[in-house]
Amino acid sequence: MRILTFGQTGQLAKALKRTQPGYFELIQLTHQQVNITQPQLINEALARYQPDIIINCAAYTDVERAESNATQVMQTNVDAVRFMAKAARQYGIRFIQLSTDYVFDGLSSLPYTVHQTPSAINVYGQSKLLAENIILQQQSSQFCIVRTSWLYHHSGKNFVTTMLKLMSQAHHSAMLTQGLISNINVVNDQTGSPTMVDDLAHFLWKLCLQKQWLPIYHWSDAGMCTWYEFAKEIQSQAEALGLIPATITLTPVTSEQYNSRVKRPTFSVLDTSRSQSILKSKTWQQQLAQCLYARSLNKD
Ligand SMILES: NC(=O)c1ccc[n+]([C@@H]2O[C@H](COP(=O)([O-])OP(=O)(O)OC[C@H]3O[C@@H](n4cnc5c(N)ncnc54)[C@H](OP(=O)(O)O)[C@@H]3O)[C@@H](O)[C@H]2O)c1
């Protein structure tokens, strides 16, 4: 079975490459090879490679910058998905669209099910929601949406690697200022579920083997936490592995104190029960342990 992904350099595309089972053929196209905002390039790629399934890993994902770049966000996250869906139908190709917990407004206090009506509160979330509607309009078991949240890996740029970097830098600046304890502020009023990106990739591979799809799946690691709780766990596990020094204080702050221009959902945990028969989620703490252990083996 031949799978094609757009967005080869992204976190998820790389995870698909790392976890690719031998019986799949994987074709990954870079932004340079196919700018997904150009419909003729999408068409040419599909005609040339004739994949069985497209997994769209390409997106404008910078939530902060999206607020002031709405046109580009809509072109990348909405118009391109419309082109892909149209071409996929034309060529008889199955299509998996990645989406996000940020399609929800965060007013719930219970995990969001696949049946709940989304309502996004920022430009990025709105664009991903519009893309979801394009997929749902197809009314086809050959098209589906996979929502996920808080992706990370032990390499690349994500919350875990950023925290490890900040914790190390804070230690060095504390050394320079005669051993003062350094402090990092972390938001403590947004709750979600971290997702180790390799397990999302494993889930997607299993999904590719299903003959028919339901319209929406949710995938994340099991359990929930705030960004602050996630950072505390990163700190405690990373200290135990000797990845960071034990001199950093983490301070919980509110979203308002954090001074971001983006509204983010205060609660965006996804109910993944539908997906558990396809692959069972591990707890986010277990996944983090696996990720940091891997990091300790090849520090980069
Ligand atoms: N990261 C998260 O925490 C998270 C959470 C929930 C859902 N998701 C969703 O999961 C999916 C994968 O996310 P990710 O974290 O792997 O994203 P990512 O690391 O930001 O990668 C995005 C990819 O899209 C490519 N891209 C951007 N604009 C493009 C264009 N016009 N044409 C072709 N390629 C383009 C980028 O290429 P360049 O870098 O070369 O521009 C990059 O390879 C996305 O749909 C995202 O919305 C992510």
Q: What is the pLDDT of residues 35-59, one digit of tens each?
A: 999 999 999 999 999 999 999 999 9
Q: How confident is the model at residue 18 (pLDDT cuts 50, 70, 90)?
A: very high
Task: Tell me the fold of 2-153+193-223+266-282.
Answer: Rossmann fold (3.40.50)
d(CA 63, ligand 1 centre) in Å:
11
Of 18, 33, 44, 151, the one to substitute when testing ligand 1's pocket (max ligand atoms within 8 A of C-beta) is 151
Q: What is the DSSP string of the chain?
A: -EEEEE-TTSHHHHHHHHH--TTSEEEEE-TTT--TT-HHHHHHHHHHH--SEEEE------HHHHTT-HHHHHIIIIIHHHHHHHHHHHHT-EEEEEEEGGGS-S--SSPBPTTSPP---SHHHHHHHHHHHHHHHT--TTEEEEEE-SEE-SSSSSHHHHHHHHHHHHHHHHHHTTTPPEEEEEE-S-EE--EEHHHHHHHHHHHHT-SS--SEEEE--BS-EEHHHHHHHHHHHHHHTTSS-S-EEEEEE-HHHHT-SS---SB--B--GGGGGTSPPPBHHHHHHHHHHHHHHS--
d(CA 238, ligand 1 centre) in Å:
27
- For the chain, give every domain's residue range: 2-153+193-223+266-282
Give the binding-site residues of ligand 1, using a 6 Å CB cut-off: 6-13, 31, 34-37, 57-61, 76, 98, 100, 128, 148-151
Q: pLDDT tens digits for 66-120?
A: 999 999 999 999 999 999 999 999 999 999 999 999 999 999 999 999 999 999 9
Of 16, 57, 227, the one to substitute when testing ligand 1's pocket (max ligand atoms within 8 A of C-beta) is 57
